Structure 1
Amino acid sequence: MIHKFLRTLAFGASLTAVLGSGAFAQSTGTAADTVITNTVSVTFDGAAAPVEGEVAFRVDRKIDLTLTSRATQETSITVSSGDPQARLGFELVNLSNAPLSFRLSVDQALGNSMVDFTEASTPTATPASGEYSIIVSTTDNFSAGSPLASGANIDSVNPGDTVYVWIVAHVPSGSAEADAQVFTLRARTTEPDTNDLVAEQRSTDPMDLNTVLVDVATQSTLTPATEIDPERDGADADQARLQVTVPTITAEKTVSVRSEDPNFDCSSLAPTPPPASDLVFIPGACIQYRISVANTSASTDATNIDITDDLPAGITFAAVSQFSSIPLGATFTSQPSQSGGTITAVIERLPPGTTASFFIRATID
């Protein structure tokens, strides 16, 4: 069983968090505690009145649930080193015919290459580096979710309702390519608005309200051959993998002559016609450096890219442009600027497969 290889970071059972009804309800059958009565009536020749027989029974509680990772077997949740809000999504559905509460716990697999995360002491959607929290919502909207305090239950989930759950983790800076951690989320059914785990109860009296556990054994989404939760235990679990991909950054610098004319306004950044292709690097000429920074990774944003360019001796700084051809989704902490012969700039976020560039003008001494 896979849980023999897991270190449990369990939640206790002292606080509660009340959630409303989910937006998507599934059919779960006749509501528990419904009394169904049937009467038979018999008449015959000479009878003064019909002879009747009546019987009744109470619909018992059927305890069933599913907890499913929104990742797939083939796809890990890929994040960048230092990602402050890496999210692993799950869907929890109450398939019972009665309202239930659910107690959540988180496990992390031993032996993975990423450091184990610790639960944030105060649950939050923005945990500190190396920490995680649980966020729950009745809609598929992370921003509308509420942090789940350690020891809290998801209370009063109606039959057929779905609760959306996220494990949000702050990936430590310096995490290497392919570093990974497997999280297991487990949900246990509890009696509504209590911390008591649901237990099976059976009797022979048809008017008693019995409780029957009917949940099936489940396999991990990551490893379908591995049973992750046994049948008929009033619980379910699934797994998702958090894996770091480090963006690949390339930098290119080219130089060209804009004008050989010593009277050319090299400090002007106004558009000018393309220069002739045969211009040469003579004293007094205006030259232009073009600096391009590219994120060549397929799926990972590059963040906090610091650019420093110390201009060499033999030239005099004239001007520096802002970033041009700004790719969609790119953001900048600071545009290029010059101080003491050094050009600096900071790209806050550069999406995968995009390039940001700027140019520097100088004259040859």
Structure 2
Amino acid sequence: MTYRSRLLGAAGVCALAVLGANPAYAAGTTAGSTITNTVSVTFTVNSIAQTGTSASDTLTVDRKINLTVAEVGSTTTTVTPGATNQVTTFTVVNTSNAPLDLALSAAQQVGGSGAHSNTDSFDVTNVRIFRDVNNNGIYDSGTDTAVTYLDEVAADASVQVIVVSDVPLGQANGAVAAVTLTATGREAGGAGSMGAALVQTTGANTAGMDTVFADGAGAGDSLRDASFAAKDDYTISAATLSAIKSSRIISDPINGGTNPKMIPGATIQYCIAISNASGSATANLVAVSDPIPTNLTYDTAFGVRTGGTATIVSGVATCANDTTGTGSVASNTVSGTLPSVAGGETKTVVFQATIN
């Protein structure tokens, strides 16, 4: 090896060392960007500097498609039967290195596990998707915008989305309706229109901007399919009321209060016990209405007494003498209102009548 060739070899090693020392760019470089890297080579011959050389390389950053959807919070949405415009909230994030349109869909689950260690058992109705314009997690009519896709979402940008539904009447306490929100990446098609479906580049890397799907598997979607899904659910909080009506004889005109019998002129006490199952939501303004048969005469002296407790044995209710409120009678119908009956609680309405 000549002296000159040894020098050139050393210069080549130095140039490679310089190339290897260049720092790598972070994994968020914008798709379509070009990265140019230039190497310079200098050398001397007999201590005299010679004309050097250089070489450049330019590459195009490919498009990495990635997105996530996640429910906001970690608990179910508690709803009441018959409630409208009930909200579950999600955050949709474009974690790609390019802007995307994101198509949205909300699907009802048919049985199976919900989002919070529960089981889907009913469907909500009138399911809609809105962009939560003010990010307050509440449906604001006239403010939040109904959407089927998110337009021109920038790389690393997040958007809060709400799924709004109505809850049918008649659902049992604890029933669950699971809803899945899916976002699917689309081409950024320009403001005001949803772009075309994304197509992943197949085969070897090209000189242009290739497309690579890099998304994970969500709640029901597949790995690397340019989509991501997440679940949330609605759980019913309802009152579960039951009523028992029992009667007992107080006295009759022959025997008085000693072993009285159900003969004309006898006084009967009616005990109406309203119970709310344990774990149920509190029932408010519970109205009781009981028409009096024509062969009974309402006892005005005793009146209608409300708000007491009762003992229930084998389906028979015995009201305690601890009432706190009063009811009324009109058109031969007894009425009483219980301000509230909490879960696991029993409240009563009591009145008396005489057999004609």
TM-score normalised by structure 1 residue count: 0.55
Task: Name the counterpart of 1:68.
Answer: 70
Q: Distance in 2 between matches of 1:166 and 1:351?
A: 33
> In the aligned structure 1, how far is the partner of 2:302 from the partner of 2:291?
11
| 1:234 aligns with one of 216, 221, 226 | 226
Task: Tell me the equivalent position of 1:167.
Answer: 163
**Is 1:137 matched up with 2:132?**
yes
Superposition deviation, residue 115 in structure 1: 5.0
Alpha carbons 2:82, 2:166 under 8 Å: kept:
yes
Higher relative contact order (CA 8 A, sep 6+): 1
* Contact 1:77 1:242 (8 Å CA) reproduced: yes
Q: How does 1:124-273 map to 2 (within 5 A)?
A: 130-137=125-132, 139-143=135-139, 146-149=144-147, 152-193=148-189, 194-201=194-201, 204-206=205-207, 208-218=208-218, 220=219, 228-248=220-240
Paired letter, 2:69: L
Change (3 A) 1:42 1:250: same
Asked if the contact 2:130–2:146 (Cα under 8 Å) also holds between the matched residues in 1, the reply is: yes
1:137 partner letter: D
* Matches of 1:302 and 1:159, distance apart in 2: 49
Q: Structure 1 residues 353, 147: CA separation in 2 closer, same or farther (over 3 Å shift)?
A: farther
1:1-365 aligned within 5 A: 29-45=28-44, 46-47=48-49, 49-70=51-72, 72=74, 76-111=76-111, 114-117=121-124, 130-137=125-132, 139-143=135-139, 146-149=144-147, 152-193=148-189, 194-201=194-201, 204-206=205-207, 208-218=208-218, 220=219, 228-248=220-240, 300=281, 302=283, 305-306=286-287, 313-315=298-300, 340=330
Change (3 A) 1:50 1:294: farther
Match of 1:37, SS state, is: strand
Q: What's the % identity of the aligned pairs? A: 28
**How far apart in 1 are the matches of 2:33 and 2:53?**
26
SS in 1 for 2:97: coil
CA distance in 2, matches of 1:54, 1:163: 41
Amino acid at match of 1:95: T
Alpha-carbon contact 2:87-2:165 (below 8 Å) kept: yes
Which amino acid letter does the alignment assign opposite residue 196 of structure 1? A
CA distance in 1, matches of 2:27, 2:136: 21
Contact 1:84 1:170 in 2 (8 A): yes
In 2, Cα distance between the equivalents of 1:104 and 1:235? 10
Displacement, 1:134?
Answer: 1.4
CA deviation map 1:149-199 (0-9, x unaligned): 4xx311111122222222221111122234333222211111113331112
Structure-2 change in CA distance of 1:176 and 1:301 (3 Å): same
- 2:265 counterpart residue number: none
Shift of residue 77 of structure 1?
3.4
Structure number with greater Rg is 2
CA distance in 2, matches of 1:303, 1:189: 47
Whichever residue aligns with residue 28 of structure 2, its letter is G
Q: Distance in 2 between matches of 1:147 and 1:299?
A: 35
Please say if residues 28 and 96 of structure 1, whose CA atoms lie closer than 8 Å, have aligned partners that are also in contact.
no
Does the Cα contact within 8 Å between 2:87 and 2:139 map onto a contact in 1? no
Q: Which residue is equivalent to 1:361?
A: none
> Which residue identity does 1:182 align to in structure 2?
A
CA contact (8 A) 1:297 1:353 kept: yes
| More moved, 86-95 vs 298-307 | 298-307
Deviations 1:113-160 (A, max 9, x none): 75544xxxxxxxxxxxx32211222524324562434xx311111122
RMSD between superposed Cα atoms in Å: 4.5
* Cα shift readout 1:50-103 (whole Å, capped 9, x = no counterpart): 31111111222111011123465xx54332221223322222111111111111
Counterpart residue type for residue 41 of structure 1: S
Q: State the aligned residue count.
A: 260
* C-alpha contact (below 8 Å) 2:106/2:128 kept by paired residues: no
* Distance in 1 separating the partners of 2:242 and 2:35: 72
